[in-house]
C-alpha cells in the first residue's frame, strides 16, 4: 500500500537574507518550514508574494529548481521582493533587519488559496506576515478554512502587536514559542510567570490550544499535548549558525505529527534531530538528502528527560 502523503500549507514571508559580505540566502520562517517539510517528503504549498523584479525572479527560479511548488507565490509589480539584513553575533544568535512594505506584506486572498487549504493537513504561519493589514486579512480568512492551524510565534522586533497575537492564538491548534517568547507573551497578558508547566496550562485554558511547544535552546524542547508533557534534550553539535533552526525543528515535528499514528517520542526525535542537523550547517535551507538526515539521526539515540 502506498503511504499517504500529507500536505502542509505555509503562509507568509519568502525572502533573501543578506549576510555580511553581500552573501544572499533564501529565507523567511514559513518558507524555511516548507523547504524542510518538502525534504521530509510531504506535499507543500507556499502562499506568499514576490516582486516582479530580478530578486523575485531569482527566488522563484531557486524554489522551482528545488521542485517546491510556486503556484501560490504571487508576483506583484506594486511592491519589491523582500530583503532582510541578517547578522550573526558572537554567540551565534541571528539578528534581522526586515525591510517594510515588501511583496509579502500584500498577499492577496484568492479563490485558489482557499481551495488549496480545503484539502491540507496543516496551515503554518507566524506573526511577521500579519504586520500589514493586507496580508493579515488574507491570513485570517485562511485560518477559517484550515482545521489544523500551526502558529510559530517567531517574534521579530518591532513587528508584532499583542492584540493580533491574541486573535491568532484564538485560532490556533498548535503553538510554538521559544522561552523568551513565552515569557513575553505571558507578560503581555499580565500573567505572572511561575514555571513552564503553569504557563502552558494557562495558555491551553485561555485559548483552548491543546498542543504547545516550547523550545529551550541548549536545554532541549518541551511538547505539551493536553495534559501530557514530553521534554527532549538537544543533540550537541558544532553550531554553524542558528538561522532557521527553530523552523527546521518545527518541520521535523510536523512531518511526524501529521501521521496520526506517530508517537510523541517519534515526533520529538524527528524534531530535535532535524533542528540539530540544520544547526550544524550553514544557513536555514542547506542542500541535503533524506539519506543524509537519516544517517545523522541514526547516530544520535534520544530519550525523554523527566519533567
Ligand X SMILES: OC[C@H]1O[C@](O)(CO)[C@@H](O)[C@@H]1O
Nearest residue (CB) to ligand X, 66 versus 96: 96
Beta carbon of residue 11, minimum distance to ligand X (angstroms, whole number): 12
What is d(CA 184, CA 188) in angstroms, rounded to the nearest whole number?
A: 6
Q: Grid coordinates standing for 280?
A: 550544524
Q: Grid coordinates standing for 278?
A: 540544520
**b (16+ CB within 10 A) / e for 99-128:** eeebbbbbbebeeebeebbeebbbbbbbbb
Nearest residue (CB) to ligand X, 96 versus 188: 96
Can you tell me which residue has the cell 541548549?
218
Beta carbon of residue 38, minimum distance to ligand X (angstroms, whole number): 16
Can you tell me which residue has the cell 496580508?
135
What is d(CA 209, CA 53) in angstroms, rounded to the nearest whole number?
A: 40
Sheet of 228-232: strand order equals 73-76, 43-51, 7-11, 122-125, 149-152, 174-178, 211-215, 221-225, 228-232
The closest residue (CB) to ligand X is: 27
Beta carbon of residue 159, minimum distance to ligand X (angstroms, whole number): 9
Applying CB under 6 A, which residues contact ligand X? 13, 15, 17, 27-29, 32, 84, 86, 96, 128, 156, 243-244, 247, 284
Nearest residue (CB) to ligand X, 83 versus 109: 83
- Helical (H) or strand (E) element with 50: strand 43-51
Residue 78's SS3 state is: coil
Amino acid at each position: 500500500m502506498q503511504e499517504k502523503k500529507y500536505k502542509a500549507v505555509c503562509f507568509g514571508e519568502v525572502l533573501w537574507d543578506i549576510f555580511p559580505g553581500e552573501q544572499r540566502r533564501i529565507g523567511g520562517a514559513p518558507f524555511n518550514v516548507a523547504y524542510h517539510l518538502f525534504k521530509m517528503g510531504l506535499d507543500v504549498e507556499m502562499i506568499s508574494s514576490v516582486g516582479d523584479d530580478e530578486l523575485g525572479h531569482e527566488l522563484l527560479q531557486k524554489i522551482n529548481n528545488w521542485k517546491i511548488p510556486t503556484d501560490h507565490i504571487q508576483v506583484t509589480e506594486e511592491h519589491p521582493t523582500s530583503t532582510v539584513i541578517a547578522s550573526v553575533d558572537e554567540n551565534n544568535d541571528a539578528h534581522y533587519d526586515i525591510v517594510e512594505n515588501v511583496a509579502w506584506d500584500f498577499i492577496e486572498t484568492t479563490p485558489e488559496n482557499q481551495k488549496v487549504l480545503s484539502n491540507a493537513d496543516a496551515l503554518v504561519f507566524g506573526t511577521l506576515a500579519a504586520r500589514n493589514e493586507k496580508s493579515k486579512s488574507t491570513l485570517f480568512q485562511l485560518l477559517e478554512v484550515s482545521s489544523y492551524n500551526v502558529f510559530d510565534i517567531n517574534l521579530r522586533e518591532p513587528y508584532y502587536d499583542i492584540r493580533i497575537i491574541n486573535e491568532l492564538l484564538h485560532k490556533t491548534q498548535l503553538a510554538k514559542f521559544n522561552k523568551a517568547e513565552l515569557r513575553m507573551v505571558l507578560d503581555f497578558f499580565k500573567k505572572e510567570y511561575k514555571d513552564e508547566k503553569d504557563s502552558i496550562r494557562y495558555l491551553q485554558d485561555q485559548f483552548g490550544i491543546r498542543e504547545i511547544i516550547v523550545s529551550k535552546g541548549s536545554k532541549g524542547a518541551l511538547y505539551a499535548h493536553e495534559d501530557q508533557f514530553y521534554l527532549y534534550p538537544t543533540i550537541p553539535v558544532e553550531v554553524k549558525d542558528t538561522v532557521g533552526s527553530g523552523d527546521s525543528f518545527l518541520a521535523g515535528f510536523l512531518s511526524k505529527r501529521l501521521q496520526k499514528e506517530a508517537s510523541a517520542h517519534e515526533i520529538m526525535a524527528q524534531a530535535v534531530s532535524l533542528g540539530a542537523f540544520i544547526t550544524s550547517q550553514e544557513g536555514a535551507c542547506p542542500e541535503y538528502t533524506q539519506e543524509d538526515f537519516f544517517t545523522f539521526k541514526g547516530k544520535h539515540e534520544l530519550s525523554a528527560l523527566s519533567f
